[in-house]
Structure 1
Amino acid sequence: MDAIAAALGDAARWRLVELLAERPRSVGELAELTGLRQPQTTKHLQTLARAGLVTVFPLGQRRVYALEAEPLAAFAGRLADLAKQVEAHQSERDVVARYREAVEAETAAADGDRWADGRAFGFERVLPAARDVVWRYWTDPALLASWWVPPSMTVTTCLLEPRPGGRAALAYRDPDGEYRSEGWVRVADEPGRLAFDLAVTGRASFTGHYDLELTAVPGGTRLRLGLRITATTVEAAPAIAGIETGWTQVLDRLTEVLTKRKGQE
């Protein structure tokens, strides 16, 4: 497939393929129709032949090239598969589009430091696990790392020490860089409530005050997470814009992890 894609990536070769799709043609005829010199035409045809797209037939003094349908059909099938994958993941493209719109809106609103102070967010989920299990997924570092970043990120540090004054830390990275937050736990009432602060480090900094409540309900646990923002800098606009999307993604991931765990019990 790589060879076919490379061969078809040239405009002159693509034109040759279009002409050969109509019928087999000689080098001279192809050169005349494309306006290329015969040596150029021959070189392009050789590239197409190496990719398996054309076959040459010596006819006396002439060399006639014919297009092969099978590799083109296979390539078209691969393109169709890629198009289906794009359609199947349209929701992820929509997330990116919404995030871009949010970044533009927040950047326009960020007219000075502390511009987003007091901004509040709320999230809620009903999780298919008992409260003590959900509590462990928030306070055990290994379990916390299994869900507390979007799927495209890699956790490097993940910690919520379940005691007042305990350390809170989150660090993760992607190919574009590393992101760190540090803070401390204010309240830890196992297995019902966990409150903590996390301050994003760097120029794009802000502090988030988090309040987690876990309530037992039939079949599982109701999770309510409140988040209030303070100490925002102008440069934090993209991070603020990503809070809604980011926490929606990670809580969806927590739900998936707990659902899978329940299915394995």
Structure 2
Amino acid sequence: MNEIAAALGDGARWRIVELLAERPRSVGELAESTGLRQPQTTKHLQTLARAGLVTMAPLGQRRVYALEAGPLAALEARLRELVGAIEAHAGTRDVLTRYQAAIEAETAAADRRRWADGRTFSFDRVLPVAPDVVWQHWVDPDLLASWWAPPSLTITECVLEPAPGGRVVLDYRDAEGHYRSEGRVHAADGPGHLAFELSVLDAAGQVSFTGHYDLTLTAAPGGTRLRLGLRITETTVEAAAFVAGIETGWGQVLDHLTATLTRQEGPRS
């Protein structure tokens, strides 16, 4: 498939393919129709032949080339698969578009330190397991690392110690860089309530902004209702992109938690 795509990636070869789609043609006829010299035309045809796109039949002194439909049909099928994949994941493109718009808006608003202090966010989910199971996924480091980042990121350190004064650390990376947040637990009353703060650090280890989190877990029909409140303080001008991504990022993370718990719960009998 790569060889077919590469062969069709040249404008002159694509024109040759268009001409051969109408009917078989000789090298001389193709050269005349494309405005190329015969040696150039021959080289292009050899490339198309190596990709299985054309075949040559010697007719006396003439070499006549015909286009093969099979490789083009295979390419068409592959392109249809790619279009289907794009359409199936259109939601992720929508998320990117909204995030870009949010960054532009927040960057325009970030005109001074503490520009977003006091802003609040809230998230609500119903999870298909008991509150104590959800609690363990917040306080057990291995379980926490299984969901506390969008799937595209790799967690390198993840700690939330469920006691007043306990450490909170989220350290992760992607292909573009390394990111770290640190903080402390203020209250922990498992399996129902957890309050903590977490500061997002910049590349120099300075605070970009601090999030103050309040998590409640209550039993609900079908499992557990999770409510997470967030208030931000200490916002710097440079934190605009981070602030723009809070709603989208936490939405993805909690969707990841929901999917993780749903897989672990498995089908109900």
Deviations 1:176-197 (CA, angstroms, capped at 9, x unpaired): 0111001111111111111111
The offset of 1:231, in angstroms, is 0.6
Q: Partner letter of residue 196 of structure 1?
A: F
The offset of 1:218, in angstroms, is 2.5
Q: Distance in 1 between matches of 2:246 and 2:238?
A: 15
Equivalent residue, structure 1, for 2:104:
104
Equivalent residue, structure 1, for 2:198:
198
Of 224, 227, 240 in structure 2, the residue corresponding to residue 237 of structure 1 is 240
Tell me if 1:187 matches 2:187.
Answer: yes
Q: Distance in 1 between matches of 2:208 and 2:40?
A: 58
Deviations 1:61-89 (CA, angstroms, capped at 9, x unpaired): 01011000010000011001100110010
Of 251, 257, 263 in structure 1, the residue corresponding to residue 254 of structure 2 is 251
Q: Distance in 1 between matches of 2:148 and 2:232?
A: 19
Q: Distance in 2 between matches of 1:171 and 1:39?
A: 59
Deviations 1:77-103 (CA, angstroms, capped at 9, x unpaired): 100110011001001111111111111
Query: Structure 2: where are the runs of 5+ without partners?
Result: none
The offset of 1:205, in angstroms, is 1.0
The offset of 1:219, in angstroms, is 2.3
Tell me if 1:225 matches 2:212.
Answer: no
Equivalent residue, structure 2, for 1:137:
137
TM-score by length of 1: 0.98
Query: Structure 1: where are the runs of 5+ without partners?
Result: none
May I ask how many residue pairs the two structures share in their alignment? 265
The offset of 1:264, in angstroms, is 6.1
Q: Partner letter of residue 207 of structure 1?
A: T
TM-score by length of 2: 0.96
Q: Distance in 1 between matches of 2:222 and 2:251?
A: 22
Q: Distance in 2 between matches of 1:14 and 1:257?
A: 47
Q: Distance in 2 between matches of 1:175 and 1:181?
A: 18
Look up the SS of the partner of 2:36 in the other structure.
coil
Tell me if 1:3 matches 2:27.
Answer: no
Q: Partner letter of residue 238 of structure 2?
A: E
Q: Partner letter of residue 28 of structure 1?
A: G
Of 214, 218, 228 in structure 1, the residue corresponding to residue 217 of structure 2 is 214
Q: Partner letter of residue 172 of structure 2?
A: Y
Look up the SS of the partner of 1:258 in the other structure.
helix
Deviations 1:145-203 (CA, angstroms, capped at 9, x unpaired): 11110111111111100111110000111100111001111111111111111111116
- Give % identity: 72
Q: Distance in 2 between matches of 1:218 and 1:93?
A: 33
Look up the SS of the partner of 1:151 in the other structure.
coil
Q: Distance in 2 between matches of 1:179 and 1:167?
A: 17
The offset of 1:33, in angstroms, is 0.5
Q: Partner letter of residue 210 of structure 2?
A: T
Runs of 4+ off more than 3 Å = none
Equivalent residue, structure 2, for 1:70:
70
Q: Distance in 1 between matches of 2:151 and 2:175?
A: 13
Q: Partner letter of residue 163 of structure 1?
A: A
Q: Distance in 2 between matches of 1:218 and 1:14?
A: 61
Q: Distance in 2 between matches of 1:202 and 1:11?
A: 47
